[in-house]
Structure 1
Amino acid sequence: MLKLNNSLSSETAVNQYAELYMAGRCISTPFFSNVLQAWKQRNHPNMLFVTFEEMKQDLRGVINRVAAHLGKQPTEKQLEQLERHLSFESMKDNQWVNKENMGYRKTDSSGERIAFMRKGQTGDWKNHLSTEVAQKMDVWMEENLGGTGLELVTELPKK
């Protein structure tokens, strides 16, 4: 049984967490059965499937898609306000998004606060996992997504 050991280095802990996550032994797992349940409903008129990566690439476009889906036509001023409010920079400073209202206060070994919302970078996980675990994750994604039509974007092109 794989168990997370909090006394190990952060790199080891991240690799262990990834293994537990792939095994479906963390909060919000099993990941793919949850995501694919929504993906199968993507064409239902009451469903709009949006990804973080789409928001990172074109937040204004996603806001417009959501507004159209809801039958709304926001003004330019409202679009600008929404774009500012929904930006990652705004979200990472929001106590509600960071679960601070629920008592989430995680610190690293030096006592430095670790925010729930970190960098907002697609593909950053590859900078924290060992090559072996990253390869396992690639296989895990392929095994779970093969034939579904859903493709996860794990890295956005550099601007």
Structure 2
Amino acid sequence: MSRLNVTETFHQITFPGHLHTQDSLRYAMDFQFQDTDTLIVTYPKSGTTWMQQVLTLLFSRGDPTLSHSIPNWARAPWLEQYYCPDVLKASLGPRIITTHLPYSLLAPALQGSKAKVIYVARNPKDVAVSYYHFHKMANFLPQAGCFGEFLDKFLDGTLHYGSWFDHVKGWTSQGRDKLNFFYITYEEMWQDMRGSIERISTFMQCPLLAEELNNVQRHCSFSCMKENAMVNYTQIPDEIMDHSKGSFMRKGKIGDWKTIFTEEQNCMFDQVFEAEMQSSKLNFIWEPPKDHGPVKSLKSPMAMEKPILTAA
């Protein structure tokens, strides 16, 4: 299945036809979750691959065999992509499932479920930059154009997978109160990987020994994942993902948006962010500290006092 130039529109959101069909999207909406399932939820380029790796290593208690022998999309398939049913039929044990779908589409399927839901968010300026670079190498996504044009589409919510604002608000303002839900940010994982793994293992009710924790931390580091062919997407043919135009595992940093945003674009972004997120309690970290010490949380323009952590 190639369909590289096909766009599927589903509930007024566009999706790349290379991976999605009307049938696969309806399958996701009607999916029967098991109470033992773990669902990773992200907007694209927000730490999806990272969390897939963490959970794989957590379930294997730090043994890297699976994470170095099975591609991440086979270990933790995307629910809305066409191949997911076949992967899940062949899976053994507790299932890890991934999705980029908004809460509004998956809420009916998750209603009453005890499945664990892990939502990973990332500051949207870095998301926009990472997504822009991904568009430049992914031949199944529309051409990125210049960054200014791309940023306008990001802020308008007209890119594939819809609005970042609707996505993060939907899951964190509605899903967290109704689901077995855990919220963590890309930036938290970046600044304290070990502490983040410990929090995730507690939520998953999967305590680790010190040696196991060390192994999980080692094999889900950015440098390790960048060299892992089961994670870095180098197995994908160039006709689908042109590796000459960039690397899937690009930088993995906080604050990369500052290398491309103009002052005018930054001001425009902040205005839209303030308007869209005025009722949100979320905090975001926009850049690392200059002294390379512990990262301090910089409140989003209209954030409330306390960030959401977990709601089980």
TM-score range, shorter chain: 0.7 to 0.9
Does residue 133 of structure 1 match 2:270? no
The structure with the greater share of residues assigned to helix is 1
TM-score (norm 2): 0.43
Which of the residues 199, 217, 240 maps onto 1:65?
A: 199
What CA distance in whole angstroms lies between the structure 2 residues aligned with 1:22 and 1:121? 22
Match of 1:85 in 2: 219
1:39 — aligned with what?
A: 172
Change (3 A) 1:139 1:93: farther
Distance 1:131 1:35 in 2: 25
Given that 1:53 and 1:122 are in contact with CA atoms closer than 8 Å, whether structure 2 keeps it comes out as: yes
Name stretches of at least 5 consecutive residues in structure 1 with no aligned partner. Answer: 7-11, 109-113
C-alpha spacing 1:15/1:120, structure 2 compared with 1 (3 Å) = same
8 Å CA contact 2:234–2:243 kept in 1: the answer is no
CA deviation after TM superposition for structure 1 residue 73, in Å: 0.9
**Preserved CA contact (<8 Å) 1:15 1:130:** no
Deviation at 1:45, TM superposition (A): 5.9
More strand by share: 2
Comparing 141-150 with 40-49, which one deviates more in the overlay? 40-49
Indicate the residue corresponding to 2:123 in structure 1. none
Q: 1:147 — aligned with what?
A: 279
Stretches of 4+ aligned residues off by more than 4 angstroms? none
1:25 aligns with 2:162: no
User: Identity rate of aligned residues, in percent?
Assistant: 28
The 3 A distance-change label for structure 1 pair 116 and 140 is: farther
Contact 1:145 1:151 in 2 (8 A): no
Question: Residue in 2 aligned with 1:14?
Answer: 147
User: C-alpha distance in 2, partners of 1:64/1:43?
Assistant: 23
CA offset digits 1:91-129 (Å, max 9, x no partner):
233334433344322434xxxxx1122211111112112
- Matched residue type, 1:105: D
Q: In the alignment, is residue 54 of structure 1 matched against residue 188 of structure 2?
A: yes
- Structure 2 SS opposite 1:122: coil
Aligned partner letter, 2:167: N
Counterpart amino acid of residue 84 in structure 1 = R
CA–CA distance in structure 2, aligned partners of residues 75 and 120 of structure 1: 27
Tell me by how many angstroms 1:56 deviates. Answer: 0.7
Distance in 1 (alpha carbons) for counterparts of 2:282 and 2:189: 17
Give the TM-score taking structure 1 as reference length.
0.79
Distance 1:73 1:45, change over 3 A: farther
Q: Which deviates more from structure 2 when the two are superposed, residues 54-63 or residues 23-32?
A: 23-32
Corresponding pairs, count: 145
| Deviation for aligned residue 1:25 | 1.9
Root-mean-square deviation (CA), in Å? 2.2
SS at match of 2:182: coil
Match runs of 1:102-117 below 5 Å: 102-103=236-237, 104-108=241-245, 114-117=246-249
